[in-house]
Amino acid sequence: MVYETFGLKGETESGAEQAKVEEIAREWRQRLGSISWFMRCLNEPIARQANEEDQCSGRFWEGRYKSQALLDEAAVMACMAYVDLNPVRAKMADTPEASDHTSIQRRIQALEKSDTAPEEKTPQPAQLQPFVGYPREPMPDGLPFRLHDYLTLVDWTGRCLREDKRGAIDQALPPILERLHIEAPEWMEMTSGFEERFKTLVGNRKRIDQACEQLGQRWVHGTRACERLMPG
């Protein structure tokens, strides 16, 4: 194929032409073993098709998909509450339990359908990471909070987010916020605009510094927001 490109079918090429052919062949061999080149070739047709379907232009992946590394418990809770309250914030639902396609709705439904006695283990959906209670020894795998406290936190946050409740934040903090040492205004700022405020690494400054050292980076975007809103 390379020879055909240069019009060298059955012909004797010059030294310069031979060198160019070998250079191209080396580049193609390198691409065949390159994961990044494979992903580029895979992403491009997907991006074009998606842009055509959405009737838009520009960079597909950057505009649609973002991710943040959650480095501590406060970051995990803020992100979970932010996602679970998306329908309430968008006025698609009035309450967390009425928010379709959310993990909190599934957790509430599992509780409502259960006949488990109060002193027994709290039922939780098998597909979701379970709440396993506060840290202890031995500590089981799961989220280190009580499910009831998380439901209380999301309900409290949802009522504060509703337009008719803004400016009337209940000063009695939910137990999780007390444990995380997060005040109500900071929590509401985090859960009302998580993606806008946090870009790459989310956690207190100590955790961010540790992550940057592991990644070989000196600085990441969003550190100031973490310093201002995250305890520690």
Q: Please indicate, yes or no, whether residues 162 and 98 belong to a single structural domain of this protein.
A: yes
pLDDT in tens, 193-206: 898 888 889 999 99
Answer whether residue 124 is part of any domain: no
Q: Please indicate, yes or no, whether residues 45 and 154 belong to a single structural domain of this protein.
A: no
Q: What is the pLDDT of residue 164?
A: 55
Answer whether residue 191 is part of any domain: yes
In three-state secondary structure terms, 202 is strand
Answer whether residue 118 is part of any domain: no
| 77-80 long-range Cβ contacts below 8 angstroms, 24+ apart | 77/145, 77/150, 77/153, 77/176, 77/180, 78/187, 78/190, 78/191, 78/194, 78/202, 79/194, 79/202, 80/150
Answer whether residue 178 is part of any domain: yes
**Count of domains for the chain:** 2
Answer whether residue 155 is part of any domain: yes
Range of the domain at 19: 2-64
- 82-94: b or e for each residue (b if 16 or more CB lie within 10 Å)? bbbbebbbeeebe
Global model pTM greater than 0.75 = no
Q: What is the pLDDT of residue 119?
A: 45
pLDDT < 70 positions in the chain = 1-13, 57-66, 115-121, 163-171, 232
Answer whether residue 132 is part of any domain: no
Q: Please indicate, yes or no, whether residues 173 and 221 belong to a single structural domain of this protein.
A: yes
Q: Please indicate, yes or no, whether residues 154 and 207 belong to a single structural domain of this protein.
A: yes
Answer whether residue 207 is part of any domain: yes
Q: Please indicate, yes or no, whether residues 45 and 98 belong to a single structural domain of this protein.
A: no
Q: Please indicate, yes or no, whether residues 189 and 88 belong to a single structural domain of this protein.
A: yes
Q: What is the pLDDT of residue 210?
A: 92
